[in-house]
Chain A
Amino acid sequence: MPLRLLKQGLLGGEREPRFFPEQGELRDRYDVVIIGGGGHGLACAHYLAKEHGITNVAVLEQGYLGGGNTGRNTTIIRSNYLTPEGVRFYDASLQLFKGLSEELDINLFYSTRGHYTLAHSDEALRTMRWRAEVNRHHGVDSRVVGPEAVAADVPGIDLECGGNHPVMGALYHAPGAVARHDAVAWGYGRAAASRGVEIHQQTRVTGIRTAGGRVTGVNTDRGAVDCDAVVSMVAGSTPRITAMVDLPTPIEIYPLQACVTEPVKPFLDTIVVSGSLHVYVSQSSRGELVMGAAVDPYSLHSTRSSFEFVEGLADRLIDLLPFTARLRVNRQWAGMSDLTPDFAPIMGTTPLDGFYLDAGWGTWGFKATPISGQTMAATVAAGRNHELIEPFRFDRFADFQLVGEKGAASVGH
């Protein structure tokens, strides 16, 4: 019995401190306004306060903390990217994640489970090798393994996949992990608030004020505030924010759906992804299978669910894990993915002075939460891009310096 639980059990819950202070009125002025109270926004607030001493910060959230994609993803954390800049960035994130429960003093259930990306064609296998080689070059533990290794770790898998898409091998990424997504937002939120950052929920930004080519403040549905810097960290709502400052971007919004089954006793310890079958699956610490697929087929600003998503997912999943046919889907939901043409984020400074962007997270934003917060905080503090995010700079599209992540055409979760 951990001491912490013993204490709360014996002394009662009244002494437990609040995670987040009661919300007060908006102040007239902040040094930095962060739009978006998801994992990224709260992490940025935390690192601004902790690592740069910038505490006159407001995080403005139109809904509730972590209610956007932070709370809607399938919680997979990995760094087996294709490009060196991708590997470096996501590996830095993964390293931060490892120590985050201790740093934030909240158990994020960060759990290293190993991550298999299955290859069902020699073309896919080639891409796996590419990723493995780039990963290993950067010290990230990824390797191409044969079907027998997959079978050893995934009980009950049908390596023939019903006969049409036999598993030819896989990219095994040992550090692949899952974590409690909501807790990441709460932990960062609490840590930021404890250093004086203000978190305002149910506060919608309605406009961004500029003068002389730089940001001077934001308007909200609770009134206007002045600020020197605005950081937009709103994923699926990014185009609405960038439209406020007339900043064209390549970002398009596509719904991304997921679902869970009823809880059953754990049988699947690893994370399994199949690009060809468009499924990814892991089993949560509650015992639910958490599953997802590719983004929806057309652009839409909505978190509505579609039946064809669960139909398609179920159809393919039971090719892979036939016995899961008897498990029952309990709930489905959707988030809004902000996709970029090169499957890499858009981060850092923008042509508008004082306006910083952290967007283009597509289907991979959760795993980047810590490093995005840290590098964006450094970027805002210094007024120039942190070196880790320089490859993801806003103007790379204008000069055709895209990130080569698209080479690995598969489901990217």
Chain B
Amino acid sequence: MPFRRSEAGPREWIDRSRTLSFTFEGRPCTAHPGDTITSALLASGVSLLGRSFKYHRPRGAVSLANHDVNALFATDADTNVRGDVTPVTDGMVADPVNVRGSLEKDADRHMDRFGRFLPVGFYYKAFHRPRALFPFWERIIRRRAGLGRVDTAWTPRRRAKRYGYCDVLVIGAGPAGLRAALDAADAGFDVLLADENPRIGGSLDYQWLGDAIADTQRDDLVARVLGHPGVTVQTSTVALGSYTDHWIPLAAPEGIIKVRARGVVLATGVLEQPAVFHNNDLPGVMLASGAQRLLHRFGVLPFERAVVQAANGEGLVAAEQMAAAGVTVAAVVAHGPGVTEADARRLTDAGIPVYRGWTVYAAHGSDAVSGVTIAPVDEAGNCDADSGETIHCDGVLMSVGWAPAGHLLYQSGGTFRYDDTLAMPVPADWPSTVVPAGRVNGAFTLGQQLADAGDAVRRLTAALRGEPVPPVVPQRDTVPHGSQWPIVPHPKDRNFVDFDEDLQLKDLEQAAREGFDNIELLKRFSTVGMGPSQGKHANLNAIRILARLRDQGIDATGTTTARPMYYPVRLEDLAGRRMRPERETPMQDWHRERGATFMEAGEWRRPAYYGADAASAIADEVAMVRNGVGLIDVSTLGKLEVFGPDAATLLDGAYTMRKGNIRLGLTRYALMVDDAGIIVDDGVAGRLADDHFYLSATSGHAEATYQTLTRKALEWGLDVHVVNRTGQLGALNVVGPMSRRVLEPLVDMDLSEASLPRLGICDTRVCGHWARLVRVGFVGELGYEIHATPAALTTIWHALLDAGAAHGIRPFGVEAQRVLRLEKGHIIVGQDTDGLTNPFEAAMPWAVHLKKPFFIGRPALAHLKGQEQRRLVRFVLPPDHAGPLPRECHLVIRNGDIAGRVTSIARSPTRGQPIGLAMVDRALADSDEPLTIRADDDVLVRGEMIAETFYDPDGVRQDADNPEATP
């Protein structure tokens, strides 16, 4: 059993005194608190952790750093769980993803043998001929797609997101991050230090462990950071991306923290890169840093007998650490200038055989490593396989180089260039307030990292204080830290460049050969870097491969874009708490209690009708308004107050009709169009004083109308103030022939035509409260709109219900109102008009006063007058129309083609026949032809256009003194 617990280490994360139980593939397993799924399984001797995406090859642990995307697990509440970083919890039930049957006996494991028939981009080249067969193939392909399974029974766990503010955000709590945090805090800045790991210390806790100087430094730095009042430490926290203006969301255990920092230090470190050789994906082949994490964090010894492939000093340290922990290091295979002869001698002296100038040519084994073949390699990276030797081992450590974790720097506007010595891209340029520090910036030794962090903070401090930013003091290492070409071809391939996507060297070569030979096309055709780890281990080698194929440099080959998220984030975490603001009128509770059915009206919910049965409720409500008195809550209307010497000028400029000549105490219809003459809003404008108007606007457009008016006031240099009172005042409409009789006892004024004429407006008192009364005629009966404060309006509402009880008063909803206004022929903006309707098309030329020298849309309407190609018409269906009614948006058909659409339709109780409005082609509108509507099931319904208003064309029913209206 290769994997086993080591002796307890000084910095390990696990608590060996306690044991947790969990099950994996139905088998009971144990773990210590602090173990991840992967470390616990490895410690129990399970090394086969997953199957690959495409070929279902056996895969194991590689990085232990949130990049092991071939070791994903499913639990009862989650899927695609990253085992390398997800802690085991007691009682956890974990299973592998993307297998049929068990991991070991995965029914799809034979896919590996068909690899040659599934070359890169294979799906572009087959299955499409004949066309009819594609759905068959697609079903097969789709069945094999994806990784984990979802459960439609999962429910969102929504947690609040937090906002965080700091002077300096330091990302990464390794040596550079710790130093930067301390220096920034010492400079007086409020510092937030975030690290993805549960403990701070970074590589000091595994790569540098046992180095006496580093250990001392580490203890000092950690203690000072934890004790510094200016530093807040946020562990287990990932910076997801860098967005505009230093907006950096952090995924913390408690949810997302959106941080706005004045300055950012990116001490994000480096990502170890794999070597590309035959079977480099077998369980047992690990990144050296991955093995170190496993050993020092989780106390698991990954191997008994290992071969270490090293192109840098870090690999040698790893070999020494493994040896010290009890692993037999069978050989260190070193190539490139990163391992010197002196280095080699140090290991040889310690009894570790070193093969300088050699590389790993292939690993062997079926489900785990059983040995490797090593072979000499020249400076250009060409491998002499014939001279190879085979070494028995159960593990391979790869230490061949690094890539910067530069994602956030890139997103902040930074650029990178390839450093030939370090064999990795390093930052070339960055904003003065987002600075890299440490290994991400090419500073590798501990001294360099600490000095680089100090320098970064000095520059950042100057930038934040608005002082001249001192030049960079370079701290980049001059010693190689990686191989220029850690890639070995093999006749049997299976030398993987991208573990997520199962891409081998030959796949990238083939893609380039087929013409996808720039980095972006290569990525898109091969999908390299597009898997769950987003190329963190694949992109750099892919660029190397393409660069070599194209015989050009790394920088000339370019790079792909590093997009957020740094690690995948759950939708529920991104969503946060659920907030759905809705607006309520003062009478909302009353409507609910009365059994209203509500309908959406922008941010509002309005009663559609009251009662269980829609049809009968609406009919009754309509009848009561026509014959008695009804009450409707119109609080959702936009309500704007306009004050100032230029109030009339503003309204004359903003609306199509004259407003400046409205007499005191009267109202006028108000129609607003845009610059293209398209209707955007309507309402009523009333004049309360020479310099004071009161405006209504449609419910959904109130805010926009307010914005238009305030902006035009500025634009036109007017002395005027607009106040949006939509939420401050409620409104109701008491309407019907009995309305005057019901209202009169409650109001402190005479309601005769002489006192409050039709279209009149005045401030008065109703039920003792201040109220504004408006005589409106939207539904075609005598009626009074009452605007008042919420408390007053509620009182008035109830008083009207009491006062009207004798007359059978009842509330009515939007549906009845629609029928009533349709009988009166009034349009609803947005229903009878669409996104391109002008007033002429809406048959409202009377509402356009072109005699005014200017109003919004006038220049357009002046040209459009008489040019309309369609027009809104009134129509009726025969009184004996049987069967279902055509519906709104059913088409008007003329000569077999579309000639318009029904915009409104209803059975008119008053006329005893269906009536409606339709927007039809002008030729039809101008004709006396019948109107043919294509209703449901293609039934053609014949109607007739009529010129007159459906109901009370002379408006006598709106006369307050009409004996019929006020019997």
A residues bordering B, Cβ < 8 Å? 1-2, 4-6, 8-10, 13-14, 16-21, 63-67, 71, 84, 98-99, 101-102, 105-111, 120-123, 126-127, 129-130, 133-134, 137, 155-156, 162-165, 180, 182-183, 186, 190, 201-202, 261-267, 284-287, 304-307, 310-311, 313-315, 317-319, 322-333, 341-342, 400, 402, 404, 406-407, 409
Question: Chain B 488-505, CB within 8 Å of chain A: the 1/0 string?
Answer: 000000000000000000
**Residue B23 interfacial (CB < 8 Å):** no
Q: Cβ of A326 and Cβ of B563 under 8 Å apart?
A: no
Q: Which chain B residues lie closer than 8 Å to A182 at the CB level?
A: 524-525
In the assembled complex, which residues on chain B have CB atoms less than 8 Å from the CB atom of A121? 599-600
Q: Which of chain B's residues have a CB closer than 8 A to the CB of A164?
A: 580, 582
B121-140 vs A, Cβ < 8 Å mask (1 yes, 0 no): 01111111111001101100
> With A and B bound together, what is the CA distance between A341 and B888 in angstroms?
26
Which stretch from B143-151, B195-203, B476-484, B742-750 is at the chain A interface?
B143-151
Q: How many angstroms from the CA of A99 to the CA of B131 in the assembled complex?
A: 8
Whole-angstrom CA separation of A257 from B217 in the bound complex? 45
Does B128 contact A102, Cβ atoms closer than 8 Å? Answer: yes
Pull 28 A–B residue pairs with CB atoms less than 8 Å apart, ordered by A.
Answer: A1-B117, A2-B137, A8-B125, A9-B117, A13-B514, A21-B515, A64-B520, A101-B128, A105-B128, A107-B127, A110-B134, A164-B582, A201-B518, A261-B568, A263-B145, A266-B142, A304-B243, A305-B243, A307-B247, A314-B574, A318-B156, A323-B150, A327-B80, A327-B570, A329-B569, A342-B835, A402-B836, A407-B834
Nearest CB in chain A: distance from B783 CB, A: 25
Q: Closest B-chain residue to A284, C-beta based?
A: B145
Q: Please state if A262 and B119 are interface contacts (CB–CB under 8 Å).
A: no
A301 to chain B, nearest CB (A): 14
Chain B residues with a Cβ under 8 A of chain A:
53, 77-80, 114, 116-119, 122-131, 134-135, 137-138, 141-143, 145-158, 161, 240-241, 243-244, 247, 249, 258, 411, 506, 509-510, 513-516, 518, 520-521, 524-525, 530, 532, 534, 561, 563-565, 568-572, 574-576, 578, 580, 582, 599-600, 676-677, 830-831, 834-836, 860, 863-864, 867, 887-891, 898, 901, 934
Alpha-carbon distance A304/B710, docked complex (angstroms): 32
Say whether, besides A109-B123, A122-B599, A326 and B78 are in contact (CB < 8 Å): yes
Q: Is the CB of B518 within 8 A of A64?
A: yes
Contacts of B830 in A (CB 8 A): 123
Q: Write out the residue numbers on chain A whose beta carbons fall within 8 Å of the beta carbon of B887.
A: 129
CB proximity of A156 to chain B, nearest CB, Å: 3
Q: Which of B509, B831, B889 contacts A133 (CB 8 A)?
A: B889
Known: A164-B582, A264-B147. A134 touches B891 (CB 8 A): yes
Known contacts A107-B126, A182-B525, A262-B532; A126/B513 CB under 8 A: no
Decide: B565 and A404 in contact? CB cutoff 8 A.
no
B574 touches A262 (CB 8 A): no
In the complex, what distance in Å separates the CA atom of A262 from the CA atom of B78?
13
Q: Which residues of A contact B122 (CB under 8 A)?
A: 5, 8
Given contacts A5-B119, A5-B125, A325-B156, 9 further A-B contacts (CB under 8 A): A5-B117, A13-B514, A18-B513, A65-B521, A107-B128, A123-B600, A323-B153, A325-B154, A407-B836
* Distance to closest chain A CB from B480 (angstroms): 32
Closest chain B residue, CB of each to CB of A122: B599
- Residue numbers in A under 8 Å from B149 (CB-CB): 264-265
Task: Report the Cα distance A162→B509, complex, angstroms.
Answer: 50
Partner of B565, one of A5, A71, A330: A330
Q: In the complex the two chains form, is A285's CB within 8 Å of B138's CB?
A: yes
Would A262 and B80 count as touching, CB distance under 8 A?
yes
Chain B residue numbers with a CB within 8 Å of A287 are 145-147
**Chain A proximity of B23: nearest CB distance (Å):** 20
Chain B residues closer than 8 Å to A305, beta-carbon distance? 241, 243, 411, 563-564
In the complex, the chain A residue whose C-beta lies closest to that of B867 is A400
CB distance from A311 to the nearest CB of B (A): 5
In the complex, the 9 A-B pairs of residues with the closest C-beta atoms, listed nearest first:
A287-B146, A156-B152, A406-B835, A328-B568, A325-B156, A325-B572, A407-B834, A9-B117, A314-B574
Contact of A329 among B135, B521, B568, B600 (CB under 8 A): B568
Inter-chain contact A325/B571, CB cutoff 8 Å: yes
Closest chain-A Cβ to B233's Cβ sits at a distance in Å of: 23
Q: Which residues of A contact B153 (CB under 8 A)?
A: 156, 323
Cβ-defined contact, B835 with A409, below 8 A: yes
**A342 x B836 contact (CB < 8 A):** yes
Q: How far is the CB of B46 from chain A (nearest CB, A)?
A: 23
Q: Tell whether, in the assembled complex, residue A19 and residue B155 are in contact, meaning their CB atoms are under 8 Å apart.
A: no
Q: Which of A21, A67, A329 contacts B520 (CB 8 A)?
A: A67
- B residues within 8 A CB of A19? 514-516
- How far apart are the CA atoms of A64 and B568 in the complex, in Å? 27
Q: Which residues of B contact A130 (CB under 8 A)?
A: 889, 901
- Among the listed A84, A111, A262, A313, which residue makes an inter-chain contact with B138, where contact means beta carbons less than 8 Å apart? A111
B532–A330 CB distance below 8 A: yes
Determine if B574 and A310 form an interchain contact, defined as CB atoms under 8 angstroms apart: yes
* Interchain CB contact (< 8 A) of A322 among B123, B155, B247: B155
Residues of A within 8 A of B258 (CB): 307
Which B residues are in CB contact (< 8 Å) with A101?
Answer: 128-129, 131, 134
- Contact check: which of A66, A120, A322, A330 meets B568 at CB < 8 Å? A330
A residues in contact with B244, CB < 8 Å: 304, 306
In the assembly, what is the distance between CA of A155 and CA of B149, in Å? Answer: 14
Min Cβ gap B302→A in Å is 27
| A286 CB contacts on chain B under 8 angstroms | 145-146
Q: Given the complex, which residues of B lie within 8 Å of A99, measured CB to CB?
A: 131
A322 to B572 Cα, complex, angstroms = 9
**Given A107-B123, A162-B578, A314-B574, A322:B156 Cβ within 8 A:** yes
Q: Roughly how many angstroms separate A134 CA and B892 CA in the complex, as a whole number?
A: 11
Taking the closest CB of chain B, its distance from the CB of A236, in whole angstroms, is 16
A324 B150 Cβ-Cβ under 8 A: yes
Whether A6 contacts B888 in the complex (CB less than 8 A), given A134-B898, A314-B571, comes out as: no
Contact between A71 and B524 (Cβ–Cβ < 8 Å)? yes
Kindly identify which residue among B114, B127, B510, B898 contacts A84, using a CB–CB cutoff of 8 Å: B898
Across the interface, do A400 and B580 meet the contact criterion of CB distance under 8 Å?
no
Specify the chain B residue showing the minimal Cβ separation from A319: B578
- Assess whether B146 is in contact with A5, with CB atoms less than 8 Å apart: no
Known A-B contacts A101-B128, A126-B889, A133-B889; the reply to A315 vs B520 at CB < 8 A is no
Q: A307-B243, A325-B154 are in contact. Are A120 and B513 (CB under 8 A)?
A: no
List, in ascending order, chain A residues with CB within 8 A of B570's CB: 325-329
Q: In the complex the two chains form, is B156's CB within 8 Å of A5's CB?
A: no
Which residues from chain B contact A267 at a C-beta distance below 8 Å? 150, 152
Which residues on A sit within 8 Å (CB–CB) of B147?
A: 262-265, 287
